[in-house]
Amino acid sequence: MRLSELMEGVMALLKFRKREVAQPAPVSGAVADFLNCYSIEVMPRTAEKVGDFGALLPKGTRVYIAHIDGTDINDMVATAARLSADGFNVMPHFPARSIKDKAMLADWIARYQGEANVHQALLLAGGISAPHGDFSDSMQLLETGLFDGLERLHVAGHPEGNKDIDPNGGDRAVMDALRWKNDFANRTDASMALATQFAFDADPIIAWADRLTAEGIDLPIHIGIAGPAKLQTLIKFAIACGVGPSLKVLQKRAMDVSKLLLPYEPTDVIGKLAAHKAANPDFNIESVHFFPLGGIKTNAQWASNNGGQPAASEG
């Protein structure tokens, strides 16, 4: 191919991109309803780059604070205090394998409550393979009884399995853990839900959610969705986080030259889930939880453009 022909092709792609950006599809009522009460995730280091969260997110939005192993608890609490003071419902992560003992856990909870007015928590095993101390999973955290004073507790869900829990494949251990957590919610007064890993294909998500219902697991699902981002960024995170069957959606997109230069947006997966929810009102996905892999501002703008509304203030 001659250079002139290559340049013509590139220019055609750029024009295609401009047309697509300039003429967004109208927002459907089903999508707007599905994005009602969405949440979003930040880390202390990403939150530092945001001058004013109030200019990006509606007041009352639930904001999770991811606790990556090695993050200073002082930074976590400071971020929580800032977001709480700005009118957001703050839900910090409690990664079991990063917590040395019950005393450390009690200290973290007390600091979040006392210094940041936090009444919610996401409990999960954490992203490291070997525990630093006494805890290896979220069930052990729940059994301490230290979270009894909090108003809302979320635990992790994995629509495409989790090889950390089921290293030989399948989902037996994952499902056993979900049954335990469901039973815990039923025998206590905890207000609980599942916050899941992100996925890119609606069909495996729907099949997983329906299976939970069939298994008698009635915890509401807050489905993880990757926000708008460069394709390369998403593929990197998907591989690192163990995203399974739906990774083929990104691989297929990477093979389409007409989409290769365009940023990924979760329009298709959310559109299909929203349509399914509209047709099946009892479908157990309650809301969307965004992973802003392409930036908080970009994700917040996309959510706003598609009718997203904040979570109700509920502690």
Token pair of 265, please? 């947006």
Given a contact cutoff of 8 angstroms between Cβ atoms, the answer to whether 105 and 300 are in contact is no
Whole-number pLDDT of residue 234: 73
In this predicted model, which residue has the larger pLDDT, 256 or 171? 171
Is the confidence at residue 254, as pLDDT, over 60?
Answer: no
Is the confidence at residue 104, as pLDDT, over 50?
Answer: yes
The predicted-structure confidence for 46-56, as pLDDT tens digits, reads as follows: 999 999 999 99
Most confident of 10-24, 59-73, 258-272: 59-73
Given a contact cutoff of 8 angstroms between Cβ atoms, the answer to whether 135 and 96 are in contact is yes
Is the confidence at residue 186, as pLDDT, over 60?
Answer: yes
Number of independent structural domains in the chain: 1
Domain assignment present for 181: yes
Whole-number pLDDT of residue 252: 62
Domain assignment present for 17: no
Domain assignment present for 168: yes
Domain assignment present for 238: yes
Domain assignment present for 210: yes
Q: The domain containing residue 297 runs over which residues?
A: 28-305
Read off the pLDDT of each residue in 234-250 and give the average, rounded to a whole number. 62
Read off the pLDDT of each residue in 188-211 and give the average, rounded to a whole number. 92
Domain assignment present for 19: no
Domain assignment present for 314: no
Q: How far apart are CA 123 and CA 277, in angstroms?
A: 27
Domain assignment present for 315: no
The CATH number of the domain where 49 resides is what? 3.20.20.220
Whole-number pLDDT of residue 183: 96
Read off the pLDDT of each residue in 148-162 and give the average, rounded to a whole number. 89
Pick the range with the lowest mean pLDDT from 76-80, 140-144, 244-248: 244-248
Confidence at 171, pLDDT banded by 50, 70, 90: confident
Read off the pLDDT of each residue in 225-232 and give the average, rounded to a whole number. 86
Read off the pLDDT of each residue in 283-305 and give the average, rounded to a whole number. 95
Whole-number pLDDT of residue 92: 98
